[in-house]
Structure 1
């Protein structure tokens, strides 16, 4: 086998020196198909070798804790990639000769082989060997037309084709098993990065995934023609809006004996200098602009420190647009007041037109409702806002957008 593989390696190496640009279209496509088929044949060979290494205990004999770890070092793979190799080798070796042969013949890909092998194993357990053999033939045929994802979806109803008498009962059992796996595997990981950001990873069960989509999907649409955020950025901001709404309800349980809230710490001198750099209770620092924006309408507990770091004022909520004043603001603006935005009031913050650190008061004439996106946009962009002569907010665009800087208003929420 070694000699044959060395010979094949030499043939493939010769191909790398050939110029594909010189091929005609039909030859180019034929070469691509041949290279892809060869790749799958080699995957079958690799799988058989990995299985033999695993069954012999070669990895542990050489001091590795597992075959996957040994493969990582030997082939310079990631551990997840090495584990997939071991899993596929095990699956193809245990009762799936038809799938192994289809991969060796280059008729299916490694990803398709995983789908087919898992499906055939399930069919064998549910309906017996004869149905499993039928499933192999049908799935290999489908693999010639469908990618692994679609093949996986089709495979969920394979019993309708090979064993219809048990299909309904098996489908219900499979659904219950899937729910059990989802409940077992559900998790959420929050990883703190060195620059203060948080990496969010996890796996949600079907119900929670539906809740998350229902909550953020309405908030992920572009807010207007000037919205240049990527889809990923819009989903990020939508999740932030959902968190703000949850905090605003006041229905969250206490955290350490205190109501759930955001705490910003700043020194007295920095406060006098119109809010300098602040720190969250998690230890992360915020820019002065972020502190000023959060101070507009968040349920903030200022923890003001003196020169020696002594707490001077902790726990007194202030500068918040709440109660009757917020209700009056909601009645006036009816939602985000930024031109063209359709966000409803419950997704909005109350923004101080003249910030309290600049001497602005907390009043209806000094406040405007803004959604999270436009609140950030106003604090970091070139737009400005004022209250017009009729008592409604109007926004002044930057000169690069409108040299005349004609005031603009939101007509989406207007009912009169």
Structure 2
């Protein structure tokens, strides 16, 4: 009985909170600090990381209790209840009840309510309990392994593939997503959920794309202070064009640089101090000016390259999805085939294992075609949690060009990985290594980062499990 009680989320939450408080107290006594800020400032790197880990688990447990409480408030506020709780409290919705009582944002409260309703116990009309829809997910949430955001992504994905999968396949997908939630960031998990949805429902891509197109648009709102606010809701294809064009004009590699600049004193008068948002706007304005200046009345081509990837099957049949690099939401195969007919579009057809072909070797610098192939494989900076797009990455040699015994050695994509400038330096100077397994790159940390040197996946996300 005691073990059963300790497994309840409320008990686990109390236990974790007490452990965190005890740890902070230990650090305070050790450093003779009176205030929390002093405790944190006086902590070692190891102690800070330990606290961060405990805080993450504690936050997930708070989410678990919040989801359950909010789901019950939503159930008691349902319209078919005799006296809905929200109405009795004078609130429009269960989410507003939670937001007001907990002093949190209505958006967060609505997320808790929605996830709580999706995970609430089910019963027949006679009141008999039904099997849980997502038992593994509930256990992971209640145990603090994942938070409400990850749970919401996984539940949404399982609902989207429900009509196209068997119960066994649903259970397999649930376990697969939970295993990836341990190693992926939330944006990566959301992209993986989209990939899983498209794997099971390839014919649904076109209707989903049309629904997004119907919601897209650009609004211009005069602000009264002389400025105009542009609000753009871009569907995936539009996002691809805009993002690629703007990044082409704001990428650090486009800035004027001089030999030895990294080691030379910085001339403050030459430093671009504009915020990123301002640089993006200036880039968009320059694109518009160039378009007007160069437009001869015909349809003007784009001055930048857009990478569109799709499988051989999707290319042949026109059914399924394709991806514009830098855009999370996939497009339909039909749209990709149309884009591939335009100038300056680089269609990249993937093989059975979604790996691009090696495009040559024996050069000191990677060719443009090889960089495209690595962009397809890596998806951007190969450093796990880095979101820098391919256009702002450098092609790094895993084994250096002048390595002993390989004086010309290999400039092919099996010896290359995309890194942003910052992580390229970390990789070259801090003892990291890369190992390929079945064509997939893994980062190997140095012993001082991880004594066990456990591989960390780099490059693109894993594919969905087989059907």
Q: TM-score, normalised by structure 2?
A: 0.45
Between Structure 1 and Structure 2, whose CA radius of gyration is higher? Answer: 1
